[in-house]
């Protein structure tokens, strides 16, 4: 598969927009959620919603940094689309009676930490880093979790919403991999050295330190929901498969790095990786919520209402 034409992609994105009001959130089917499912689903949805936000915030950073006008515009659409996914997921939660009043659901602490990191540092990260990490997160978390959701939840409205969300996601991935290949094309020894210098950047180390336990934590969540963890790993291997399908893609040093990391995550017998990272998950799990800084104000933009007058 050759790289896609980004100008055509932008036109396609613009012509295939959807809105919350395209879906009837009161249609029958909500009762198909079983009582046993409900509490786990609630936690799952809350996390999912926040994962959309991780993608959203990363796209927001890319929208400022991308090398061309077209890419910048594409990313500003993707940023908004991730917000739309979160809004739609919140509307589902409301439909299933999982929201108390107007409250925005709480994310798990690992997600909170990564959002905090993104909000502080994403704008300063090089396009290369974000451009590679984002497809991985999207494939692993967004992709795997959504498929899983559709396998376990019978509510037709949920299926309707995720059909639209998945259409968006396939475009996010298409662009993500194309950009990785573009970067690989221009990869060189100098880039490699620059990259290594970047890895030493304490801000990036902080980011890595939040990214690693996030993946393990999501794996735990997935297992708690009754999904075989292999599904998550399969999704992550898809990153390796698609990202490495061309010479250019393979030449992207960031791809190599993330791919290698993905291999560690999916290999449970790699104790050197999993013992300390699982410990990190435990530790962060003990961080009291109050110790975290206030959520950034963009979080308050979330809404499950298809229309707004204020």
Q: Please report, as ranges, the residues that interact with other proteins according to CB under 8 A.
A: 14, 17-21, 64, 69, 73, 76-77, 80-81, 83-84, 87-88, 119, 123, 296-298, 301, 303, 305-310
Packing angle of the helix pair 156-185, 6-15 (nearest 10 deg): 160
Minimum distance from CB of 309 to other proteins (Å)?
A: 5
Nearest in space to 224 (alpha carbons), one of 90, 86, 43 = 43
Query: Closer to other proteins at the Cβ: 21 or 186?
Result: 21
Beta carbons of 6 and 178 less than 8 angstroms apart: yes
What is the rounded distance in angstroms from the CA atom of residue 257 to the CA atom of residue 240? 11
CB atoms within 10 A of CB 284: 18
Q: What is the residue whose two structure tokens read 């962060």? A: 284
What is the rounded distance in angstroms from the CA atom of residue 128 to the CA atom of residue 298? 25
Minimum distance from CB of 307 to other proteins (Å)?
A: 5
Minimum distance from CB of 276 to other proteins (Å)?
A: 33
CA dihedral 154, 158, 163, 167 (to 10 degrees): -140
Query: Closer to other proteins at the Cβ: 66 or 187?
Result: 66
Out of Fe ion, other proteins, none, what residue 109 binds, judged by CB under 5 to 8 A for its kind, is none
Minimum distance from CB of 81 to Fe ion (Å)?
A: 7
What is the rounded distance in angstroms from the CA atom of residue 227 to the CA atom of residue 236? 15
Query: Closer to other proteins at the Cβ: 68 or 267?
Result: 68
Out of other proteins, Fe ion, none, what residue 5 binds, judged by CB under 5 to 8 A for its kind, is none
Minimum distance from CB of 22 to other proteins (Å)?
A: 9
Query: Closer to Fe ion at the Cβ: 61 or 277?
Result: 61
State the first-to-last Cα distance of the chain, in angstroms, to the nearest integer.
45
Which residue ranges make up the site for Fe ion (CB under 5 A)? 52, 55, 82, 85, 138, 142, 169, 172
Q: How would DSSP label each residue in 52-75?
A: HHHHHHHHHHHHHH-SSHHHHHHH
Out of other proteins, Fe ion, none, what residue 55 binds, judged by CB under 5 to 8 A for its kind, is Fe ion
Out of Fe ion, other proteins, none, what residue 138 binds, judged by CB under 5 to 8 A for its kind, is Fe ion
Minimum distance from CB of 200 to other proteins (Å)?
A: 27
């Amino acid at each position: 598969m050759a790289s896609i034409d980004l100008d055509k992609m932008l036109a396609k994105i613009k012509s295939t927009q959807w809105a919350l009001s395209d879906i009837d959130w009161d249609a029958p089917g909500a009762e198909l959620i079983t009582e046993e499912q409900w509490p786990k689903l609630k936690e799952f949805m809350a996390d999912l919603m926040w994962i959309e936000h991780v993608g959203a915030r990363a796209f927001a950073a890319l929208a400022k940094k991308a090398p061309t006008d077209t890419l910048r515009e594409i990313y500003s659409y993707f940023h908004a689309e991730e917000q739309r996914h979160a809004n739609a997921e919140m509307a589902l939660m409301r439909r299933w009676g999982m929201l108390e009043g107007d409250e925005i659901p709480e994310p798990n602490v690992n997600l909170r930490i990564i959002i905090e990191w993104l909000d502080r540092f994403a704008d300063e990260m090089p396009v290369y880093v974000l451009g590679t990490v984002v497809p991985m997160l999207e494939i692993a978390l967004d992709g795997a979790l959504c498929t899983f959701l559709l396998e376990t939840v019978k509510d037709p409205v949920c299926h309707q919403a995720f059909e639209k969300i998945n259409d968006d996601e396939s475009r996010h991935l298409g662009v993500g991999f194309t950009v990785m290949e573009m970067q690989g094309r221009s990869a060189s020894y100098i880039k490699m050295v620059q990259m290594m210098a970047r890895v030493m950047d304490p801000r990036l180390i902080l980011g890595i330190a939040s990214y690693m336990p996030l993946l393990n934590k999501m794996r735990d969540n997935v297992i708690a929901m009754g999904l075989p963890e292999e599904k998550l790993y399969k999704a992550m291997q898809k990153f390796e498969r698609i990202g490495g399908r061309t010479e250019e893609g393979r030449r992207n040093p960031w791809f190599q790095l993330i791919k290698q990391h993905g291999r560690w995550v999916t290999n449970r017998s790699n104790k050197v990786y999993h013992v300390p990272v699982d410990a990190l998950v435990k530790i962060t799990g003990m961080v009291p919520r109050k110790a975290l800084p206030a959520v950034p104000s963009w979080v308050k933009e979330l809404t499950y209402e298809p229309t707004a007058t204020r």
